[in-house]
Chains A and B, each alone.
Chain A
Amino acid sequence: MHIIDRRLNPKGKSLSNRQRFMDRAKKQIKEAVDHAIKSRKISNTDGGERIKIPSDGLHEPRLVGDSKHGVRDRVLPGNKEFMAGDKIKRPPPQGGGQGGREASEDGEGEDSFQFTLTREEFLDIFFEDMALPDFVKKSIKEEVVHEYLRAGYKKQGSPSNLNLKLTMRNSLARRLCLRRPSDKDIADLEDKITALRARKRSTDKQKKELVALLEELEVLKRKRKVVPYIDPLDVRYTSFTEVEKPNSHAVMFCLMDVSGSMGEVHKELAKRFFMLLHLFLDRQYKKVDVVFIRHTHLASEVDEDTFFNSRETGGTIVSTALEVMQQVIIDRYPPADWNIYAAQASDGDNLNSDNAHCRKLLTEEILPICQYFAYVEVWDTHEAEMFSDDSNLTRLWQVYDEIRQTHENFAVKKVTKAADIFPVLHDLFAKNKETKDA
Chain B
Amino acid sequence: MAAPKSNGATGPKSQAPARKKTVTRKAAMAPIFEGAEWDFTKVDNCFQAIEKIALEEMRLDVYPTQIEVITSEQMLDAYSSVGMPMMYNHWSFGKSFLRDETSYRKGFSGLAYEIVINSNPCICYIMEENSMTMQTLVMAHAAFGHNHFFKNNHLFQQWTDANAILEYLQFAKNYIAKCEERHGKKEVEKILDSAHALRDQGIDKFTRRQKLDIAAQRQRQIDREEYERSQYSELWRTLPETTKKNNEEIDAIERDLAQKLGLPESNLLYFLEKHSPILDSWQREILRIVRSLAQYFYPQRQTKLMNEGCACFVHYHIMNRLYDTGQITEGAMLEFIDFHTRVVAQPDFDTPYYNGINPYALGFAMMKDIERICENPTDEDREWFPDFAGNNKAIETLKEAWRNFRDESFILQYLSPHLIREFRLFNLHDDMTQSHFLVNAIHNEQGYRAVRSALAAQYSVANTDLDIQVAKVDLHGNRSMVLSHSMSHEIPLNEKQARMVVRHIHRLWGYDVSLNSIDPSGKVIKTYAEEKQS
A residues near B (Cβ < 8 Å) are: 1-7, 9, 11-14, 16-24, 58-80, 82-90, 97, 101, 106-108, 113-116
Contacts and interface: CB of A to CB of B under 8 A. Distances in A.
B447 A5 contact: no
B47 A61 contact: no
Interface string B467-495: 01000000000000000010001111111
B71 A115 contact: no
B447 A61 contact: no
Given A70-B490, A90-B437, A113-B99, A20 B458 contact: no
Given A11-B73, A62-B497, A113-B95, A88 B439 contact: yes
B436 A20 contact: no
Interface in B349-385: 349-352, 354-355, 357
11 contacts: A5-B68, A9-B74, A21-B97, A24-B189, A65-B492, A70-B432, A77-B423, A79-B424, A83-B439, A101-B355, A113-B98
Interface string B408-432: 0000000000000001111111111
Which of A22, A62, A82 has the most CB atoms of chain B within a 10 A radius of its CB?
A: A62
Which label, helix, strand, loop or mixed, suits the secondary structure of the B interface? Answer: mixed
B355 A74 contact: no
Contacts of B352: 97
A403 to B, nearest CB: 49
B136 to A, nearest CB: 14
B527 to A, nearest CB: 14
A86 B426 CA distance: 11
Contacts of A14: 76-77, 80-81, 93-94, 97
B488 to A, nearest CB: 8
B91 A23 contact: yes
Contact of B71 (A7, A69, A84): A7
Contacts of A70: 432, 489-492
Given A13-B81, A16-B89, A60 B197 contact: yes
B491 A87 contact: no
Contacts of B350: 78, 80
B112 to A, nearest CB: 16
Contact of B492 (A69, A85, A101): A69
A7 B102 contact: no
Contact of B98 (A79, A80, A86, A115): A115
Contacts of B444: 84
A62 B199 contact: yes
For the complex of A and B, list the 6 residue pairs with the smallest distance between their C-beta atoms, beginning with the closest. Answer: A78-B348, A21-B94, A70-B491, A17-B94, A61-B500, A76-B349
A87 B438 contact: yes
A311 to B, nearest CB: 40
Which of A65, A74, A79 has the most CB atoms of chain B within a 10 A radius of its CB?
A: A79
Interface string B314-356: 0000000000000000000000000000000011111110110
A115 B99 CA distance: 7
Interface string B163-182: 00000000000000000000
Contacts of B451: 75
A84 B439 contact: yes
Contacts of A20: 89-91, 94, 185, 189
Q: Which of the four size classes fits the interface of chain B? A: 35 or more
A39 to B, nearest CB: 20
Interface in B447-464: 447, 451, 454-455, 457-458
A19 B494 CA distance: 31
Contacts of A82: 426, 439, 442
Contacts of A59: 500
Interface in B93-111: 93-95, 97-99, 101-102, 105
A77 B497 contact: no
Interface string B100-139: 0110010000000000000001000100100000000000
B501 A61 contact: yes
Contacts of A73: 427-430, 440, 454, 457-458
Interface of B: 40, 43-44, 47-48, 51, 64-71, 73-74, 76-77, 80-81, 89-95, 97-99, 101-102, 105, 121, 125, 128, 143, 185, 189, 193, 196-201, 346-352, 354-355, 357, 423-432, 434-444, 446-447, 451, 454-455, 457-458, 466, 468, 485, 489-498, 500-501, 504
A13 B93 CA distance: 11
A298 B178 CA distance: 67
Nearest to B441: A84
Contact of B497 (A3, A6, A63, A114): A63
Given A73-B458, A113-B99, A64 B493 contact: yes
Nearest to B128: A7
Contacts of A90: 434-437
Contacts of B441: 84
Nearest to B100: A14
Contacts of A69: 432, 490-492
Given A2-B67, A75-B458, A86-B439, A13 B77 contact: yes
A62 B501 contact: yes
Contacts of B68: 3-6
Contact of A21 (B91, B439, B443, B454): B91
Given A1-B51, A63-B466, 6 more contacts: A5-B69, A7-B71, A13-B77, A17-B91, A20-B185, A88-B437
Contacts of B71: 7, 11
A1 B426 contact: no
A83 B442 contact: yes
A4 B493 contact: no
Contact of B74 (A11, A84, A89): A11
B122 to A, nearest CB: 10
Contact of B504 (A23, A61, A83, A114): A61
A254 B99 CA distance: 40
A3 B489 contact: no
Nearest to B457: A73
Nearest to B350: A78
B370 to A, nearest CB: 19
Contact of B442 (A19, A74, A84, A108): A84
Contact of A67 (B423, B489, B494): B494
Contacts of A9: 70, 74
B491 to A, nearest CB: 3
A77 B431 contact: no
Contact of A1 (B64, B355, B428, B497): B64
A19 B431 contact: no
B123 to A, nearest CB: 9
Given A19-B94, A24-B91, A64-B493, A84 B447 contact: yes
A62 to B, nearest CB: 6
B67 A1 contact: yes
Contacts of A7: 69-71, 74, 128
A77 B491 contact: no
A23 B186 CA distance: 10
Given A14-B80, A63-B493, A82-B442, A71 B90 contact: no
A23 B184 CA distance: 14
Given A3-B43, A84-B440, A108-B496, A63 B97 contact: no
Contacts of B492: 65-66, 69-70
Contact of A71 (B66, B423, B490): B490
A165 to B, nearest CB: 50
Nearest to A87: B436
A6 B430 CA distance: 49
Nearest to A9: B74
